[in-house]
């Protein structure tokens, strides 16, 4: 609670900067946060701005009244974070204060998916399978990811839902994530229960119990502390820049005209309006079981 109180005071006392340092620091101005939020809402319609519910929202005067925070609701979380074990061969890059960034994010996600079989005691797979094929089918579950057309019937005790909020942190000049969880019957999760959906490496270092700061009233949430978000974002932006550079080098010469359009987008690296898409990619390492959509082709 003390940590939450100090954080609130820091947010209140830190002056607002409108000078862009995005490319050098990984930080955002309020105007850049709004621009990135507009892009996220456009690309992923499950995300919304807070809108016109002005009576129940605390407003920051440096943000538009209808763009104080972003929200996506009822995001499923089928498995607890402990299910997603760290792969032994996953290389990580230390960015300080306990933050570790996977060098191959997609490899990490594959490893997480392959661990679904370890949770079969809590899952029931519904599919049309002949009795003679039962043994072969069971073996395949351990060797492959679940097919997209498999129907997974989650026991009520394992299925949860989360409302996710993103607001602007004035003290760190980056987005800040808040999570509010619910059981499958709509009962709010306790802080301890929500911590079960935070990866173990981050629970004690970066997750904090605090009320949602932008709502009037007391709405308990778990926040992801933004102290190292800027450093992590710089690393991720460099990875995106390198990936795009490799993609550019493989463009066929016959597509010169199309390539000129593409080059204008990638030659300067990640655009500031794409910031939150990369931010959400990073958040999945903190909340591996929460199934929000952040993927874009080639990322």
Which residues are identified as catalytic? 227
Mapping DSSP to helix (H, G, I), strand (E, B) and coil, where does residue 130 land?
coil
- Contact (Cβ atoms closer than 8 angstroms) between residue 275 and residue 28: yes
Can you list the alpha helix ranges (DSSP code H) found in the chain?
2-13, 22-25, 30-43, 105-114, 134-143, 191-195, 200-203, 229-249, 256-266, 275-283
Q: Residue 206's closest CA among 241, 231, 242, 239?
A: 231
Largest CA distance in the chain: 69
Helix %, strand %, coil % of the chain (to 5): 40, 20, 40
- The angle that helices 229-249 and 275-283 make with each other, rounded to 10 degrees, is 110
């Amino acid at each position: 609670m003390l940590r939450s109180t100090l954080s609130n005071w820091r947010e209140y006392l830190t002056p607002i900067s409108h000078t862009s340092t995005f490319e050098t620091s990984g930080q955002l101005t309020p105007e850049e946060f709004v621009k990135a939020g507009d892009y996220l809402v456009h690309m992923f319609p499950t995300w919304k701005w807070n809108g016109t519910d002005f009576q129940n929202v605390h407003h920051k005067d440096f943000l538009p009244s209808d763009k104080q925070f972003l929200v996506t609701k009822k995001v499923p979380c089928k498995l607890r974070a402990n299910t997603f074990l760290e792969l032994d061969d996953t290389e990580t890059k230390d960015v300080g204060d306990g933050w570790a960034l996977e060098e191959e994010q997609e490899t990490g996600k594959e490893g997480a998916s392959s661990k679904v079989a370890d949770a079969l005691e809590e899952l029931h797979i519904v599919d049309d399978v002949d009795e003679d094929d039962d043994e072969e089918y069971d073996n395949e579950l351990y060797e492959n990811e679940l097919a997209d057309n498999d129907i997974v019937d989650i026991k009520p005790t394992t299925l949860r839902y989360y409302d996710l909020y993103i607001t602007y942190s004035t003290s760190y000049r980056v987005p800040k994530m808040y999570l509010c969880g619910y059981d499958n019957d709509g009962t709010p999760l306790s802080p301890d229960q929500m911590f079960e959906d935070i990866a173990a490496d981050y629970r004690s270092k970066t997750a904090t119990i605090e009320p949602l700061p932008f709502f009037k009233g007391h709405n308990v949430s778990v926040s992801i502390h933004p102290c190292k978000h800027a450093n992590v974002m710089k690393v991720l932006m460099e990875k995106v820049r390198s990936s795009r550079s490799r993609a550019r080098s493989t463009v066929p010469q016959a597509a010169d005209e199309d390539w000129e359009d593409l080059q204008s987008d990638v030659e300067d690296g990640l655009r500031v309006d794409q910031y939150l898409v990369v931010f959400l990619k990073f958040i999945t390492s903190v909340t591996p079981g929460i199934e929000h959509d952040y993927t874009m082709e080639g990322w």
